[in-house]
């Protein structure tokens, strides 16, 4: 239970603390152009390739969450997330890449971009240095951001779904599986943040800000790949 002088923080306080950066992430040009179909396919293909590397490290980060879990409840939760990424998400991603003409062999051999390196290793470092909450906050922009981006895209009148080559991507992240994982994570974070001190909140907000900046760089990396693949 939070003490009576606890500010009782929630996830919404984290996004509001860095509102401008959060908006730049969820309304990035990559996302807008994916929705209005003006995104060059080379950009999306490059993004998909790098996202394969991202998902591998994302799975490792949940493996680290397993290790950092202090009790059976948390252990089970992190283990289920790790299993979902390894058994389902990565399979889906490989299948999705195949539809885009990217073979599994190509995925296994591709060179990791600096943006991918920076983001994924940053998340892992937060987990290594800190506790389970630091790690969850470093992971929050992935889960919460993509969930928010996809639902916004479906609501926006500028989004074109018919004949949109990226439609499946939008619908995957707006779909029930991802959305329910996002809701669970929001619940977890709201509970965990409810009794942190102001000082601790500021530390966590810095992690959240940097992870969000690295998500922005990840979109920009895709956008910059106009001719590279
Ligand atoms: C870079 C990035 N962030 C978040 C997600 C959502 O899992 C993803 N697939 N890739």
Pocket test for ligand 1, best of 48, 51, 172, 212 (most atoms within 8 A of CB): 51
pLDDT band at 7 (very low <50, low <70, confident <90, very high): confident
How far, in Å, is the centroid of ligand 1 from the Cα of 212?
A: 11
What average pLDDT does this structure show over 5-11?
A: 86
| Catalytic residue flag (residue 104) | no
What average pLDDT does this structure show over 95-107?
A: 95
Q: For residues 143 and 12, give the distance between their C-alpha atoms in angstroms, rounded to a whole number.
A: 14
| Catalytic residue flag (residue 97) | no
- Mind listing the pLDDT tens digit for each residue in 20-43? 999 999 999 999 999 999 999 999
- Are 43 and 106 in contact, with CB atoms under 8 Å apart? no
- Please state which of the four CATH numbers 3.40.50.300, 1.20.910.10, 1.20.1250.20, 1.10.10.370 is assigned to the domain occupying 11-224: 1.20.910.10
What average pLDDT does this structure show over 50-78?
A: 97
The structure tokens listed for 228 are 């590279």
Residue appearing with tokens 């966590």:
204
Atom of ligand 1 nearest to the CA of 142: 4
How far, in Å, is the centroid of ligand 1 from the Cα of 48?
A: 10
Domain positions in the chain: 11-224
* Residue-wise DSSP of 129-168: HS-HHHHHHHHHHHHHHHHHHHHHHHH-TT---TT-TTHH
With a CB cutoff of 8 Å and minimum separation 6, the contacts of 167 are 161
The structure tokens listed for 212 are 């969000």
- Answer whether residue 62 shows pLDDT above 50: yes
The structure tokens listed for 82 are 């790790």
Q: What distance separates the 2 farthest-apart alpha carbons in the chain?
A: 57
What average pLDDT does this structure show over 86-109?
A: 93
Atom of ligand 1 nearest to the CA of 58: 7
- 3-class SS of residue 100: coil
- Mind listing the pLDDT tens digit for each residue in 197-210? 999 999 999 999 99
Q: For residues 22 and 13, give the distance between their C-alpha atoms in angstroms, rounded to a whole number.
A: 12
Nearest to 82 by CA among 55, 104, 103, 100: 55
- Answer whether residue 228 shows pLDDT above 60: no
Average pLDDT, the chain: 95
Residue whose CA lies nearest to ligand 1 atom number 5: 142
């Amino acid at each position: 239970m939070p003490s009576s002088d606890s500010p009782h923080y929630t996830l919404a306080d984290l996004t509001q603390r860095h509102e401008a950066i959060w908006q730049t992430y969820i309304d990035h040009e990559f996302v807008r152009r994916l929705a209005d179909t003006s995104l060059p396919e080379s950009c999306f293909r490059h993004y998909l390739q790098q996202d394969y590397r991202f998902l591998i490290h994302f799975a490792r980060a949940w493996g680290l969450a397993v290790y950092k879990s202090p009790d059976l409840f948390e252990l089970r939760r992190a283990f289920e997330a790790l299993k979902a990424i390894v058994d389902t998400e990565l399979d889906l991603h490989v299948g999705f890449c195949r539809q885009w003409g990217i073979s599994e062999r190509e995925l296994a051999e591709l060179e990791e971009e600096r943006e991918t390196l920076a983001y994924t290793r940053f998340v892992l470092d937060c987990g290594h240095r800190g506790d389970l909450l630091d790690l969850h906050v470093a992971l929050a922009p992935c889960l919460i951001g993509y969930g928010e981006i996809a639902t916004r895209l479906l609501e926006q009148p500028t989004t074109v779904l018919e004949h949109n080559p990226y439609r499946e991507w939008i619908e995957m992240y707006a779909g029930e599986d991802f959305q329910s994982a996002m809701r669970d994570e929001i619940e977890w974070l709201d509970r965990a943040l409810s009794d942190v001190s102001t000082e601790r909140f500021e530390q966590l907000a810095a992690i959240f800000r940097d992870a969000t900046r690295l998500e922005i760089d990840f979109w920009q990396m895709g956008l910059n790949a106009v001719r590279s693949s």
